[in-house]
Amino acid sequence: MVSKERSKQNKSLPKYWRLKYGTYCYRIPPHLRHLHGGKSEISLGQTLSAAYRKFADMHDVQDDITRMSDLFDRYRFEVVTEHNVRVQDLKNRSLDRLRASIGGNLVPIMTPQVIYRYRDHIGRTRSKKQANQDLEVLSHCFTKAIEWGAIAEHPMTNKKVVKFSLPARDRYVEDWELQEWARVANPFLFVYVLLKGVTGLRQQDLLTIRKQDISDDELVSVNIKTNKKLRFPLYDSEGKPTTVRLALDVVEGFYAEQNTKRRIPMMSPWLFHTGKGHGYYNTVKCDASGFKSIWQRSMRKALDETGLKQRFTEHDLRAKVGSDVDSDVEAQKLLAHTDVATTSKHYRRRGSVVSPARGFELGD
């Protein structure tokens, strides 16, 4: 009997899985049904990350890795599930593309040439950025394959396979552009950007500041990406308020004014919070979709009603902070980068200030 070809939506899923009415399901092989009370199918969940977690809890992952699909499945079960939801989603999307294209290949005979063909195909049909993301996941899969005893050598290291070279974003927000935007900006965004401008913090780190993080002497921010702490003094050695203290005064004043308009004052543990007291950053999904919507509306309004001609992103403001300080080292320290090369390449967008040369003597 010829087996029925899997539908397009199920091709990237592990064997015996299918997507049915928005839910991932596991069709239990007949010889295993006695382990599940005679059931022929089990619901795993409505998201891939939940489905993989449940399936991993139900079964021991097989050590026998022969094909790339076996490697990708084990990688999902043991590696992807250890990350937050946002990273899981990105990795699973890459694994879906990889599994659909090269899942049938034998692991030991994967060559740089095969990987380059995959890279070029994704770069041509989707984007070079997605191709690079897929190569990062694929490279880590091979690293784990060595750990799990499936292969002895990594087919991508030592520049045997290189990613696409992508130009670094160089959008620098001029002072006048920021002032134009501020004329029509949402009042919440206005005070948010004031604090952004003096701290240079990432969006998620600003939105997760709690009121308890602000003492009489300093503001403490914990970097979600690296878990490192940054301490911003609120007063200088002479007792004068720093720019951070002045910005916080404006933020706190904004929310105090909002409370005067309410019958019952809003109490929230977050420095930046919604009208219901909730934080803007979802720490489970690692997402700030509500904040992003507010930002996009504000940007569209600025483009329609002011002299601003080119949009800029919230992240461009972090680069503006890094560009406006005096040196690469100072910018690196403020932005909490491990490597000054990262700061120089992505966050110093104005160029270096240099002294003019002596010049040439031409004629009398």
CA distances from 109 to 106, 142, 154 (A): 6, 12, 11
For the chain, the domains span 9-59, 60-161, 175-312
More confident residue, 145 or 265: 145
Q: How far apart are CA 357 and CA 293, in angstroms?
A: 48
Average pLDDT over residues 49-53: 78
CA distances from 235 to 239, 240, 241, 250, 258 (A): 5, 5, 4, 16, 27
Give 38's pLDDT tier (boundaries 50, 70, 90).
confident
More confident residue, 1 or 272: 272
Q: What pLDDT score was predicted for residue 1? A: 44
Long-range contacts of 258-261 (CB under 8 A, 24+ apart): none
Which residue bears the tokens 């990795």? 91
Give 67's pLDDT tier (boundaries 50, 70, 90).
very high
DSSP line for 55-85: HHHHSPPPS---BHHHHHHHHHHHTGGGS-H
In a 10 Å sphere around its CB, with 0-12 CB exposed, 13-18 middle and 19+ buried, how is residue 206 labelled? buried
H or E, element range at 229: strand 229-233
Give the residue from 347, 224, 332, 228 showing the smallest Cα distance to 288: 224
pLDDT in tens, 289-309: 999 999 999 999 999 999 999
Tokens of 246: 């002045």
What's the number of CA atoms in the CB half-sphere (13 Å) around residue 44? 26
Give the residue from 211, 217, 246 showing the smallest Cα distance to 232: 217
Right CATH number for 60-161 from 1.10.150.130, 3.40.50.970, 1.20.1050.90, 1.10.3720.10? 1.10.150.130
pLDDT in tens, 234-252: 999 999 999 999 999 999 9
Confidence check: pLDDT of 358 > 50: yes
Give 3's pLDDT tier (boundaries 50, 70, 90).
low
Percentage of residues of the chain with pLDDT beyond 90: 62
Give the residue from 295, 283, 303, 276 showing the smallest Cα distance to 224: 283
Give 72's pLDDT tier (boundaries 50, 70, 90).
very high
Average pLDDT over residues 121-139: 96
Task: Find the range with the poorest average confidence among 167-171, 246-250, 355-359.
Answer: 355-359
* Contact of 318 with 196, CB cutoff 8 Å: yes
CATH topology for the 175-312 domain:
hpI Integrase; Chain A (1.10.443)
